[in-house]
Structure formats: structure tokens, C-alpha cells
Structure 1
Amino acid sequence: MANTSILKVLFFDVFGTVVEWRHCVANSLREAAECALRDPRKTLSSALRARATAITFDPTQAFVSVDEHHFHSIQKLLHEQNLKGLFTEDELWELVLTWHRLEPWPDSVNGLELLNRRFRTCTLSNGNVSLLKDLQRHGSLPFTDIVSAQHFGAYKPSPQVYTGAAKRFGLDPRNCAMVAAHLYDLKAAKALGFVTIYVERNEESLTPQEIAQAKEQYVDEWVDGATDGLIEVARRLGIF
């Protein structure tokens, strides 16, 4: 692993890395559909009721994970499933709030608490600030700081997000680590001098060749899915 003795701040991707979102969103959509079907105030055709009753929301569905796009993402999904009219516009906006109530992975809270003993821990997500604060509050996530791509007027993997985050703390990128479950995130951060830590969360389907290339070229530490995630990150960084 790269020299971690000079690390000061650990930046974390949030969606998929710290909180589980695919099953949370799919379950919320499923529950909302069941509620809509029971609502006596709704006038739904028998064909729409049949489609809604039979639908299963796939947790691997690639929703977009930034607030202003969630509404249109759900609309697109419902259109693809021929379920237009199942929800009112207000109900769709309520579903958008699902992204503000995502559950942490089982190791996230304890892992962050351990890492806070030595480092500042900070979000670095494409999610907007209010969304990240809601997730922190809902999941009791003990981040020491909240930073969003919103602060820099760009989205990851734009270099200005990573360099802006380091400058926000008055640090050289070598004093920063990026922790993520997405290789594109780590590849971009590594190119700018960050230490990179990959945490497997079943976010990506990778070939053995892709894994080997990432480990060789831009991932400093690989925490596989058989470990306890962020707790293992703390272990690798010498917290205990």
C-alpha cells in the first residue's frame, strides 16, 4: 500500500460504498406500488392494476444517484414498465425522498467511528449537500465533515472535485485517500495523487483481468466482499 503515515483525511463515496441503495430503492418502489393499488381514491384501469401487481423492481436497475435526477429516473422506469398513471406527481416526489433515507451497510457506522480515531472522515459524493446531511442523520453516520461535488460545480470523476476537496482542507492530494466501491472514482482520484482504497460492495461486475489491472495501476488497497468493509479499512490503516 502507498504511504499512509501522511494521510490526514479519508474521503468517501457514499452511494453503494457507505449506504446500500439498490435494494432500499427497489423496496420503496414495491411498497409504494402496493399502497397505490390499495388506495380507493385511485382510478386505475384493470390492465394497469394487472401490470402493477405483477411487476418486480430489479435492485440492479441503474438509477441515477443525484437528487435533481431522481424524479425523472423514476418516471423513466415506470414508463419502461408501462406503469404511467400508477403514482401522482406528489407520490413520485415522495419516492425521491427514498434516497434521503438509505440504510448504511452493517459495517459503516462502526468502521467510521474507528477511522475517526486517527483521521478526518468526509463524504465526497455527487449527491447534493442536503441529501448527504439527511443520509448522515438518518443512518447516524459519524462523518467528521460533509463535502459534495456540488461545492465545486462539477461531478466526479471531474478532476476539480478531487483537487477542490483536498484544497478545502488545505492539503496536498498525497495527504488524502479516496474510499469507494467504484473503480472509475478511484482511477480519477489516483491520477491526482490520492491514496485509493476499493471496498467491494457488489456495485460492479468485474472480470479477473479488470481486477488485476486496477490493483496494478491505481488501487492501493483492495478490501474484498468477504471482509467487514470499513472495519477492515480501519484494520488495514493500523487503527487496531
Structure 2
Amino acid sequence: MATSIPEALRNVKALTFDVFGTVVDWRSSVHQELMKRAREKTTSPTFGRSPESSQARLKAMTDDDWATFTQEWRTTYYVFTREFVPGKSEWKDIDTHFYDALRELLDKWGLSGIYADDETQTISQIWHNLKPWDDSAAGIQRLGTQLVTSTLSNGNQSILKDLNEYGDLGFRRIISTADFGAYKPHPSTYLGAVGALGFRPEEVAMVAAHLGDLAGARSSGLRTIYVERPREEAWGVEEDRYKEAREWVDLWIAQDEGGFLEVARRLGISE
């Protein structure tokens, strides 16, 4: 079985996992919860106290509108973490970002005054309870029988701990980029995780559904495992960088191949 393991991964002792999109299906989880909260709000005693224009807007929101709202909320996270400059930008954790971004989006969508501050805060905590992909828990637990499995996400510690518990994911370590005062793809995040795990970069493989994340990990000397997830990849399949990634990614698991369970199989870890 060992001969089938990709050569670049034969000395790997630990796996670091991106979480949002790679381990958990944030899109459907957030979308469904936003619609549920909206339905509950329209029948609540406090709904009539909201501005009439906001009441009408909330009632008019369709499933597609909430899907777009969800994507915009996620996009703010991507932009925020990519624009953060360690040592220059004022520190803000992801919980705070999601709350601030939600308030801005509610205003943008004409929903000002619908939710009180404490309700907005509660809604922003949606990101602590996201449904894992079907293979995530079983795959991570199987991989963890022979390798150190750890998160390496821009989510702060409380989010990651809650997601690990909520999804029964079984991560052996919880590492957040916030532990290093930076966000991926800054090199300090990948190298910080490697140091925290006590290994050399080439002994750690980054697992992600985003080639940009893997490119950052590779630049810091980590191995790379790409697991395709629905609608997660930002790089277009016709782009040169996507085609080039096909050559440098150490293990590529297509969307219909079984996710983390297939990663375990390719690494020679059986049931």
C-alpha cells in the first residue's frame, strides 16, 4: 500500500486543514439559517417596531436574495483577510468582522432596524455552527489515527472549537491564524502552524479546497492536498495558474472522488 502514496507525501506527519468551504459547507448552512431567522422575525412581536420600509424589504426577500446576501457576507471575509497587513492593520478577529460586516450588509440591503444589536450579534454567530461535508468527520477521524490533524483557518479559536464540536470533526489540534496575528496567505500563518506542531514544513501538508491557500502553503515549504468542493474554487479552470497548479499540487482529489476519505485511502490509511 505504501508504494501508492505520492512520493512528496511519504514523509508527511501532520495535516493542516482549511475549514470554511473545505471542511464545512458554509454556503448552505448560512443561507438556510438567514432565511429561518427572517421568517421568525416577520412573526415576532417586535417586527412592527421596525421601519416600515425595512419591514417591506424583509418580506420581499426571496431565497435567491438570501443566497446572494450569504455570498456577499462571505466575500467580505475574503477581502478583509486578504487586505490585512500584519503589523500595520489594526487587529480584528473574524467574529468581530462577521458582526461588523453583517451590520453593513443589512443597511445595504435596506434592512436597517430590523434586528436589534443583540439579535445581530446572535445572527453573526451562525458561523460557529456550520454543517460539515458528508465525508469530513469520518475522513478527519480516519486520518487522525496515523497523522496529526489540525485546523489552520482564519477563523478565531472560539469559532474553530465550536465547529469541531458541532460537526464531531475530531481534530487533534486547533490552530487559528489569529494565534500568529495574521491571516492566510501570509507566510507567518503556515510557518507558525508548522512550528506549533513541532515539525518541519515538508512534514506538514496543507489540505484545502482553494488553490490560492495551497499556493501560500507551498511557498512556505508545506506539501499540498487539494480537495475539490462545490463552488469553492476562485481560480477558473481555463486560467494558466489553475492549469499550472495541476502540476505542483501533490495530491488532487476531484469533487466526486470521496473527499477526505479518499485522501486517507491515497495515504494508505485504511479503516
**TM-score range for the pair, normalised by the shorter chain length:** over 0.9
| Deviation digits for residues 182-224 of structure 1 (CA, Å, limit 9, x no counterpart) | 11110011112111011111212422334312112x4211111
- 1:203 is aligned to 232
**Residues of 2 paired with 1:12 and 1:116: CA distance?**
12
Q: Does 1:60 align with 2:71?
A: yes
Report what 1:212 is aligned to: 243
Instruction: For residue 3 of structure 1, report the CA deviation from its aligned partner.
Output: 2.3
Aligned residue pairs: how many?
239
Q: Aligned-pair distance for 1:76?
A: 2.0
Point out 4+ residue stretches in structure 1 off by more than 6 angstroms. Answer: none
Secondary structure in structure 1 of the residue aligned to 2:19: coil
CA shift for structure 1 position 44:
3.0
The aligned residue for residue 41 of structure 1 is 46
- 1:108 to 2:136 alignment: yes
| Contact 1:22-1:61 at 8 Å conserved across structures | no
Q: Is the 8 A contact 1:14 1:123 kept in 2?
A: yes
Residue 13 of structure 1 is matched in structure 2 by 18
CA gap of 1:45–1:129, structure 2 versus 1, over 3 A, is: closer
Note the residue ranges of structure 2 that are not aligned, 5 or more in a row: 1-5, 79-93
Q: Secondary structure at the match of 1:121?
A: strand
In structure 1, the partner of 2:56 is 50
SS in 1 for 2:72: coil
What is the TM-score normalised by the length of structure 1?
Answer: 0.94
Shift of 1:138: 0.9
Match of 1:193 in 2: 221
- 2:36 is aligned to 31
SS at match of 1:7: coil
Q: Which has the higher strand share?
A: 1
What amino acid maps onto 2:128 in structure 1?
Answer: H
Within-5 A mapping of 1:73-112: 73-112=101-140
Distance 2:198 2:141 in 1: 23
TM-score computed with the length of structure 2 as normaliser:
0.84
Question: 1:171: how far off?
Answer: 1.1
Larger RCO: 1 or 2 (CA < 8 Å, sep 6+): 2
Aligned residues of 1:71 and 1:96 also touching (Cα < 8 A)? yes
Matched position secondary structure for 2:199: coil
Coordinate RMSD, CA, aligned: 1.5
Q: In percent, how many aligned pairs have the same letter?
A: 41
**2:138 and 2:261 in contact (8 A); partners too:** yes
Task: Output the amino acid matched with 2:53.
Answer: A
Aligned to 2:260: 230
* Comparing 46-55 and 228-237, the one that deviates more: 46-55
Q: 1:128 to 1:119 in 2, by over 3 A?
A: same
